[in-house]
Amino acid sequence: MSNYTEQDTERARAAERSSAGMETRHLGLPAGYGAAPAQTIVPQRPNSLGLGLIGLGALLILAQLFTTSLNIVPGMILLTIASVFLFFGLWRRVYGLIIPGSIVAGLSLGVTFAEVTNGVSVLWGLALGFLAIYALGTALFRNSHFWPLIPGAILFGVGLIVLIATLGSLSVGLIWVPLLLIGAGLFLGFVKQ
């Protein structure tokens, strides 16, 4: 079956140019409709001060992560447990499974950074878990109950009190300085010049 001639090749090319063996009709715009003028989008120049602050904050965090030890294994174990709850809660649309999944996921984040932040991250991770319950409940389950905001606000406030009480410690001050730099850089990045 490899006896193709030049005529067979030309016939195949002609069929490709047409629609089902028939001549292809080229459609154009109706009369009176011209092509819309192309809009020129002027890209915004990134705020170099904001980018610099974000970069400096990220470098300081990386330097601290390499000099301190993180509790990655306990955090990963908790995240694995949380992912099971969240997977089945989102897959089967069961609001009751989102609650422990979000709390344990927030706890896993807090436990990972607990040694660096003197325990403040555990409280704020739990507060983030309760905030995730509220956000997921509102967005996915049309559940407008505000009860998760109450323990979330309390945990955030207690974490803030612990942070202020231990602010004299050098290690806590060093972790928050890069985070504040990144936050300031993000703020400046969204401010129009």
Is residue 155 situated within a structural domain? yes
Is residue 163 situated within a structural domain? yes
* Lowest-confidence region among 6-15, 27-36, 125-134, 157-166: 27-36
Is residue 36 situated within a structural domain? no
Q: Torsion-angle region of residue 93: left (phi > 0), alpha (psi -120 to 50) or beta?
A: left
- At 102 the pLDDT is 96
pLDDT mean across residues, the chain: 79
User: pLDDT tens across 95-105, in order?
Assistant: 999 999 999 99
Q: Torsion-angle region of residue 169: left (phi > 0), alpha (psi -120 to 50) or beta?
A: beta
Of residues 156 and 23, the one with the higher pLDDT is: 156
First-residue to last-residue Cα distance in the chain: 69
Is residue 152 situated within a structural domain? yes
Closest CA to 185 of 62, 63, 58: 58
- Chain Cα centroid distance, residue 125: 16
Q: Which amino acid is at 38?
A: A
pLDDT band at 86 (very low <50, low <70, confident <90, very high): very high
* Lowest-confidence region among 40-44, 119-123, 161-165: 40-44
pTM: 0.56
How wide is the angle at C-alpha 189 spanned by C-alphas 187 and 190, nearest 5°?
Answer: 70
User: pLDDT tens across 131-149, in order?
Assistant: 999 999 998 888 888 899 9
Range of the domain at 154: 71-178
Q: Hey, which residues does 167 pair with through a beta bridge? A: none
Is residue 116 situated within a structural domain? yes
Closest CA to 148 of 166, 134, 167: 134
Is residue 16 situated within a structural domain? no
Is residue 162 situated within a structural domain? yes
Domain count, the chain: 1
Is residue 144 situated within a structural domain? yes
